[in-house]
Structure 1
Amino acid sequence: MTTLKTISLAGLTVLVLSSTLLTEVSANSLFAKSAPMSPIGGSQTSKAPNYLGASIGKTTTDDFCQDLNACESADQSWKAFAGVRVNDSIVLESGYVAFGKQSGQDASGTVSQTTSAYTATAVVGLPVSDQIEAFGKAGMARWSVENTNSSGTVVEDTGNNIMVGAGANYDLGDNMGVRAEWERYKDIAIPSTQQTGDIDLLSLGFIFSSL
């Protein structure tokens, strides 16, 4: 993987961590002067400076099933994430994604693969109504793949690649919300075929905003 992608991932992660510290200081000053703020996508003008979230979903892995029989390229997945608000429209977000397991049969037996990733993204929101906010996102994923071939040999690979996504948040009130989104993780290695493929993730989860 290129040095530029590695530097970009590290830079985004540093921005998220730095913004968290700055936001906490700013939030303490604001709350001494004003009423509490609403969650991301909330109905008030000011939005919560940060949030935590968790989602469950389903992944589909491109090209894994090439040359395999009785193959299943989709599986259940989950992810956890945290966001720090830069302004009313932009959030820096980092997270961890477990993509689940894919498996199939070659001429000698079962081939399986598990994948996970750490992410650092910029999320740009667009209010649709008082309770709904649509968003797009783009950033970097630091992925890890573990492939087990039909002889039981485990091959691991890691790398950095681009990820993009889109979705919507729905404000439930009381600093809680629901998030639905689609994400695509680009060019993740498939050790069993020495190729790369994209992973698509559809997920639904909850957001918990902090004050």
Structure 2
Amino acid sequence: KNAFIGYRAGDGLAFQLGYHDLGEFSISNGLTTLDGETRSLSLSALAGLPLTERFSIFGRAGFHHWNVETHSNVFGPRDRDDANGTDVMYGAGIRGEISEQVAIRLQYDKMKLSDEEDDADIGDYDVASVVMELTL
């Protein structure tokens, strides 16, 4: 789940602030279980290139601050831990205008997650989205 608010600075440039619920996960080996959920706040720029009067392609780059909250039973009953950091995100997509106030975007984003404190690469989130833009 994603939610964005942004500012279009011109035909080919926009800036966005976003919230991303990257989902829940559960890992178990039969004896122990690790459950968690990941959320992120992002700030990014989108640069577009028109293909036709109503369609354009775009690239996106920026940063996101993520938080992974985990619960495990490794060291007793439901031990809780948090990890967070700020990393890069980037992506690309296609945008189609339905009207002057409404557009649809199909986009693919890659969000890096690495914990600098523990010098650990947690992994990447690959996020495919359908986004509806409403212009006020």
Question: Shorter-chain TM-score: what band?
Answer: 0.7 to 0.9
Note the C-alpha offset of 1:152.
1.1
Equivalent in 147, 154, 173 of residue 80 of structure 2: 154
Equivalent in 63, 77, 98 of residue 172 of structure 1: 98
Amino acid at match of 2:124: D
Note the C-alpha offset of 1:174.
4.9
Q: Are 1:188 and 1:199, in contact at CA under 8 Å, matched by a contact in 2?
A: no
Equivalent in 55, 66, 71 of residue 132 of structure 1: 55
1:80 counterpart residue number? 3
Task: Provide structure 2 residue ranges, at least 5 long, that are not aligned to the other structure.
Answer: none
State the Cα RMSD in Å: 1.5
- Greater share of strand: 2
**Higher mean C-alpha displacement, 145-154 vs 161-170:** 145-154
1:181 matched to 2:104: no
1:149-171 Cα deviation digits (max 9, x unpaired):
13411100111000001111111
Equivalent in 32, 35, 38 of residue 109 of structure 1: 32
Q: Are 2:95 and 2:103, in contact at CA under 8 Å, matched by a contact in 1?
A: yes
Task: Provide structure 1 residue ranges, at least 5 long, that are not aligned to the other structure.
Answer: 1-77
2:135 counterpart residue number? 209
Amino acid at match of 2:132: F
Q: Are 1:83 and 1:91, in contact at CA under 8 Å, matched by a contact in 2?
A: yes
Report which of the two structures shows the higher radius of gyration computed on alpha carbons: 1
